[in-house]
Structure 1
Amino acid sequence: MPPVRQNLVNLESVTAHVPGDASRVLLDAVSLGVERGERIGVVGLNGGGKTTLLDIIAGRREPQGGRISRLGGLKLSHLAQGDPLPAGARIRDVVLADYGAEHEWASDPRVRDVLTGLGVTDLDRTVDGLSGGEKRRVGLAATLIGEPDLVVLDEPTNHLDVEGVGWLARHLLGRNCGLVVVTHDRWFLDAVCTRTWEVAGGRVESYLGGYADWVYARAERYRQADAAEARRQNMARKELAWLRRGAPARTSKPRFRIEAAEALIADVPAPRNTVELLGFATNRLGRTVLELEDATVRIGDRTLLDGVTWRLGPGDRIGIVGVNGSGKTTLLRSLTGERPLDAGRRVQGTTVQLAELTQELVDLPREMRVLEATEDVAKFVRLGKLELSASSVLERLGFPAARQWTPVGQLSGGERRRLQLTRLLMAEPNVLLLDEPTNDLDVDTLSNLEDLLDGWPGTLVVVSHDRYLVERVCDTVVALFGDGRITHLPGGIDEYLQRRAAAGDAVATITTSGPAAKAAPAVSAAEQRAARKDAARLERKMESLAARESELHDALAAAATDPAKLMELGAQLKAVTAEREAVEIDWLAAAELAES
């Protein structure tokens, strides 16, 4: 028997605009709700209203119009962006405020799991001396401890490494509460979320499933509407092609949905032509790129590299992973020569033109316009066979035409970082080192960045906690395990997590995306057989309902001049769509039980 649904929060015709500017509408008569057990990922462009939506759900902001209703006695926990910690407070005062004596929380395995998983261990330390990342983890720990009915998280994966993101996914999957989360980490969205909300143009569109499912649905929407936005459609189709060629189980959609999507990607080439790009890279770089020979690098009393030889060749695309503080940024600085080796030697090819995206922002004249700052480097850039203008590259990285004339002094920190990345690409380097390039980028901008990097002919080294980005743009993954070596991982990030777990570290080993990744209790063989039968029956029903939906769409098109008929058909379509979505939820539960 399916669990009883319980509405936690409902928004009815909610309207909100930018404070002080009623002309900039962020939410326009939005109606939606959150149920217990739903895990909702929120995506959309930066500045499009995602944080406003979360603040309204959490009760931190009142809308300009509409109505909000909440379950009586609702316990809600909210992690917002930029919330300060109380000055002078100890970590235990912030995180364990609801507990008295130490034995009260120390005996609770969930509290211990949160503290260990987020690396919050020195409870007597004051918050004043913490770094930005440490403060963020303390805030996240305080949000997760307890038994809230609804958890609302705004960018919780910021400042978490790959393992921390994996732990957070596992932790949230094990909770029986509602979840609404804004994050740019697409692997996390796939691993955790059962529904995706897209905030765009004042509206909130709802899609069943995680990030991959949203990509499928959006690509199909573009196809059905025959949208004039050809570039965005091609972007969705290209990413869709990569999803289907990549690891299995990226999508929770049933087979008939996947088969329907194949028509969209039948003629789409692979995201990048590796052989062709290698040819470009070799012509530009020659045989020698960057090499560390018998290199030793020490950080204080710790040895990062101990007599390591590592050679980067033309066209290599390498992702570097490791826990926070493992030395990834120091390794990049050693590659560039900014940080001298303690022993050994660094070799750089004579034709190398190296560029590095650091985590520090570069100062530019405040009065300079965004487009001027970009064209100051170059007006056009060639990426493989593609030549793009400075304006086009800016647009792809989240600067629409109107925003390109904004003075640099008025940009946010995230926008300045995107401008820094744009200027690097415009310089046409042939060796590119990127340190956490996904910070402050929304998912659409990330997809555009990946598309640019797909056609970039050179040697690429990426440090990132965003495993989706690493898997998409890199061909090789190496890790820093703290043993003085650089370890090649043929199995990629999954192998990294498995090795960390085997070494005795408390690591979440979620190796597949989507609802298939959820931990499930053991079931009997008879229950599995029954679940498989249910899944097959429900899949047939979904096929029938999908066919009926298609018929109704055709009928609506044919009845374009008959208002009464349009209303009748619209009501039928709404009912069929609601029934199909309900059947899909039941199918997901049956399919999960059948595979457990």
Structure 2
Amino acid sequence: MAVLSISNAHLAFGHVALLDGANFSLEIGERVGLIGRNGTGKSSLLKILAGLEKLDDGLLQLQQGLTSVYVPQEPELRADATIFEVVSEGVAEAKALRARYEIHDENDDLAWVQERIEHIGAWNWEQRVDETLQRLGLDGSRLVGALSGGLKKRVALGRALVAQPDVLLLDEPTNHLDLDAITWLEELLNNFKGSLLLITHDRAFLDNVANRIVELDRGQLRGYPGNFAAFTAAKEYELQNEALFNARFDKLLAQEEVWIRKGVEARRTRSVARIQRLEAMRLAHAARRDVQGKVKLDIDTGGASGKIVAELENVFKSYGDRTIVRDFTATILRGDKVGLVGPNGAGKTTLLKLILGELAPDSGEVRQGSRLSVAYFDQMRDTLNLDATLADTISPGSEWIEIGSQKKHVKSYLGDFLFSPARANSPVKSLSGGERNRLLLARLFARPANVLVLDEPTNDLDIETLELLEELLAEYDGTVFLVSHDRRFLDNVVTSTIVSEGDGRWREYEGGVQDWLLQSKRAAALQAKQAPAPAPAPAPAPAVAAAPAAPKRKLSYKEQRELDELPARIEALETEQAQVAALLAGTELYTQGAARLAEVTARAGQIEDELMGLLERWEALGAR
């Protein structure tokens, strides 16, 4: 049963139809991921469903008595209020009713007030707020104005959840959250009893939370059962069919156009019905909204840097009595793609500045490589002049831009990033959040650099642009430092991951986030297994000098060959793992019988064991 729906919905922004006769319904208990390109109208649709905006035409239907809560990308919170006070806004009706009951006058209808208090559970609203704060790990006495972006997002979610709504509408809920907080949010939403509609471009988050994907594409809303992995397979098949149909249609239209332009003899015998069909085909072709072009990303790497980008040895850095980096040693080589992972406030930016020589360590040694040319992607978009035009942002004072040996007109270059020529002279402030990020990428890639520093580049970018950015960075010859909480993006780009392990300690792991999680989980299990049983304390003995560490043995030819082949074997297993996960998350497998289900489930376990073994072998050989 649908809790809300829209029918034949129309919404336009200027001459662009965001909704063009679209239909959608949200069922009881569904968790729907709403996806689509930047600027297609996803946030506008969410606001319409929340009652904050109206359709130009069409019907919006809500279940009687429905309660819904909308959490925008950037929630507005009272900076001078405590967390408890802001979260309590979610139970505003309960607070007001109980206060009215406690200080009523003789004209009040206490019977109705008491009945309403019982119905919405208003007697114990403080307990509901306290329980919600405890679940979210929030200190109710802290002032909101002093919180980080991630904690403010938690407060906004707390305000929504304490209301116990039937429907939760979330716009980019993972923005500003670190990996631990995203994992926590996944669990929270999977346990949510109501219906959920969320906008996000975090593919791993969609895979773990959504049970249906709805895509807003060229004014239409199309639903796909299952998570994002299942959607990807279905969408690819659908686009192939659409391209085939359009090609056949265009060929027939071309044949009819040739026929209609033939000589006098043909015109005398032509069919009225055939002419009418041609006119209908022309109208259909004119009305067709083709798939929007892809972003074309290219980058000027400038001159190559030296082989070593940075060497750090026993580096310490503190602020006051807090140690941000403790005894960190690492070597970064040209071409490395390094991910930095840690909770908000762990010191990722500080560590990056140490690596790049922008900050001196308190102790230890940092050596930078030669011929480094660094370009930065700014997470908070502070460097964008909102009043400047798109063209001036990319190429101030010139209509041309040079990328390597290639010279391009700035409008053509902006077109590579899906900005139409007509928008080249529009101000930056007219862009959506995702479009501003795309503009920042355009500006970043226009500058020659052999080291890229990307701080949360994935926020607000649509999934297709994310995938193209992944391809570009994977092929980029220079060095990349990537700060992100997007697990899938990190896994697809980085060659190693530097992880905060608390108390200022950082450790580098081979591979991406999943590799780190597997390696750390396996290491913890081995450590627990090998830990000796507690024994009585031995009598004091004279100190003995530790035996010198055994020298590292060089890899044999066979071992080196094995090490070279391991990445391909790991990648093949990971691909199969993703396919098996998509099968288990979809619905088709469960119609194929118990034997097939058992076979696929068993294979999933085998893949995990095989992958763990290969990763351990890779780490062991790589350490030598």
Q: What's the TM-score once normalised by structure 2's chain length?
A: 0.66
Q: What runs of 5+ residues in structure 1 fail to find an aligned partner?
A: 1-5, 231-276, 504-510, 521-530, 541-586
Q: What residue number does 1:16 align with?
A: 11
| Contact kept? 2:490, 2:512, Cα under 8 Å | no
User: Which digits, 9 at most, give the CA deviation of each residue in 1:197-217, with x for residues without a partner?
Assistant: 111322212222222333222
Alignment of 1:494-513 (within 5 A): 494=514, 496=516, 499=520
Q: Distance in 1 between matches of 2:162 and 2:579?
A: 25
The Cα shift of 1:40 comes to: 0.9
Q: What residue number does 2:319 align with?
A: 299
| Contact kept? 1:306, 1:485, Cα under 8 Å | yes
> Does residue 1:80 correspond to 2:72, yes or no?
yes
> Does residue 1:379 correspond to 2:379, yes or no?
no
Alignment of 1:544-583 (within 5 A): none
Judging changes above 3 Å, is the alpha-carbon distance between structure 1 residues 533 and 204 closer, same or farther for their aligned structure 2 residues? Answer: closer
The Cα shift of 1:398 comes to: 4.6
Q: What runs of 5+ residues in structure 2 fail to find an aligned partner?
A: 92-121, 248-298, 525-573, 606-624
Q: How many aligned positions are there?
A: 470
Q: What is the aligned counterpart of 1:461 among 481, 484, 500?
A: 481
| Contact kept? 2:510, 2:516, Cα under 8 Å | no
Q: What residue number does 2:356 align with?
A: 336
Q: What residue number does 1:478 align with?
A: 498
| Contact kept? 2:500, 2:506, Cα under 8 Å | yes
User: Which digits, 9 at most, give the CA deviation of each residue in 1:237-289, with x for residues without a partner?
Assistant: xxxxxxxxxxxxxxxxxxxxxxxxxxxxxxxxxxxxxxxx9xx9999233221
User: Which digits, 9 at most, give the CA deviation of each residue in 1:117-149, with x for residues without a partner?
Assistant: xxxx22022323334443222101221235322
Identity of aligned residues (%): 34
The Cα shift of 1:338 comes to: 2.3
> Does residue 1:125 correspond to 2:146, yes or no?
no
The Cα shift of 1:88 comes to: 3.6
Q: What residue number does 1:50 align with?
A: 42
Judging changes above 3 Å, is the alpha-carbon distance between structure 1 residues 317 and 365 closer, same or farther for their aligned structure 2 residues? Answer: closer
What secondary structure does 1:405 align onto? coil
Q: What residue number does 1:28 align with?
A: 20
Q: What residue number does 1:424 align with?
A: 444
| Contact kept? 1:397, 1:445, Cα under 8 Å | no
Q: Distance in 2 between matches of 1:15 and 1:287?
A: 57
> Does residue 1:437 correspond to 2:457, yes or no?
yes
The Cα shift of 1:54 comes to: 1.0
Q: What residue number does 2:292 align with?
A: none
Q: What residue number does 1:104 align with?
A: 127
Q: Distance in 1 between matches of 2:33 and 2:218?
A: 18
Alignment of 1:156-235 (within 5 A): 156-226=173-243
Q: What residue number does 2:85 align with?
A: 93
Q: What residue number does 2:340 align with?
A: 320
Judging changes above 3 Å, is the alpha-carbon distance between structure 1 residues 169 and 492 closer, same or farther for their aligned structure 2 residues? Answer: same
> Cα RMSD over matched residues?
4.2
Alignment of 1:137-152 (within 5 A): 137-152=154-169
Q: What's the TM-score once normalised by structure 1's chain length?
A: 0.68
| Contact kept? 2:580, 2:604, Cα under 8 Å | no
The Cα shift of 1:62 comes to: 2.4
> Does residue 1:67 correspond to 2:67, yes or no?
no
What secondary structure does 1:226 align onto? helix
Q: Distance in 2 between matches of 1:388 and 1:228?
A: 35
Q: Distance in 2 between matches of 1:533 and 1:44?
A: 27
Judging changes above 3 Å, is the alpha-carbon distance between structure 1 residues 165 and 367 closer, same or farther for their aligned structure 2 residues? Answer: closer
| Contact kept? 2:401, 2:409, Cα under 8 Å | yes
The one-letter code sitting in structure 1 at the alignment partner of 2:141 is D
User: Which digits, 9 at most, give the CA deviation of each residue in 1:323-344, with x for residues without a partner?
Assistant: 1111111111222222222222
Once structures 1 and 2 are overlaid, which stretch shifts more, 468-477 or 122-131?
122-131
Q: What residue number does 1:564 align with?
A: none
The Cα shift of 1:72 comes to: 2.2
Q: Distance in 1 between matches of 2:373 and 2:431?
A: 28
Q: Distance in 1 between matches of 2:446 and 2:151?
A: 34
What secondary structure does 1:92 align onto? helix
Alignment of 1:505-524 (within 5 A): none
Q: What residue number does 1:550 align with?
A: none
Q: Distance in 2 between matches of 1:311 and 1:450?
A: 24
Q: What residue number does 1:272 align with?
A: none
Q: What residue number does 1:351 align with?
A: 371
Alignment of 1:399-414 (within 5 A): 399-408=419-428, 410-411=430-431, 414=434
| Contact kept? 1:436, 1:464, Cα under 8 Å | yes
The Cα shift of 1:401 comes to: 3.6
Q: Distance in 2 between matches of 1:311 and 1:77?
A: 49
Q: What is the aligned counterpart of 2:135 among 99, 106, 114?
A: 114
Q: Distance in 1 between matches of 2:227 and 2:588?
A: 23
The Cα shift of 1:470 comes to: 0.4
Q: Distance in 2 between matches of 1:318 and 1:298?
A: 23
The Cα shift of 1:94 comes to: 2.2
The Cα shift of 1:107 comes to: 8.4
Q: Distance in 2 between matches of 1:366 and 1:8?
A: 40
User: Which digits, 9 at most, give the CA deviation of each residue in 1:218-251, with x for residues without a partner?
Assistant: 2222222237999xxxxxxxxxxxxxxxxxxxxx
The Cα shift of 1:35 comes to: 0.6
What secondary structure does 2:480 align onto? strand
Alignment of 1:239-254 (within 5 A): none
Q: What residue number does 1:308 align with?
A: 328
User: Which digits, 9 at most, give the CA deviation of each residue in 1:66-116, with x for residues without a partner?
Assistant: 1122222223222123442246432112224537668833885xx366322
What secondary structure does 1:225 align onto? helix
Q: Distance in 2 between matches of 1:56 and 1:10?
A: 11
What secondary structure does 2:370 align onto? coil
Once structures 1 and 2 are overlaid, which stretch shifts more, 387-396 or 420-429?
387-396
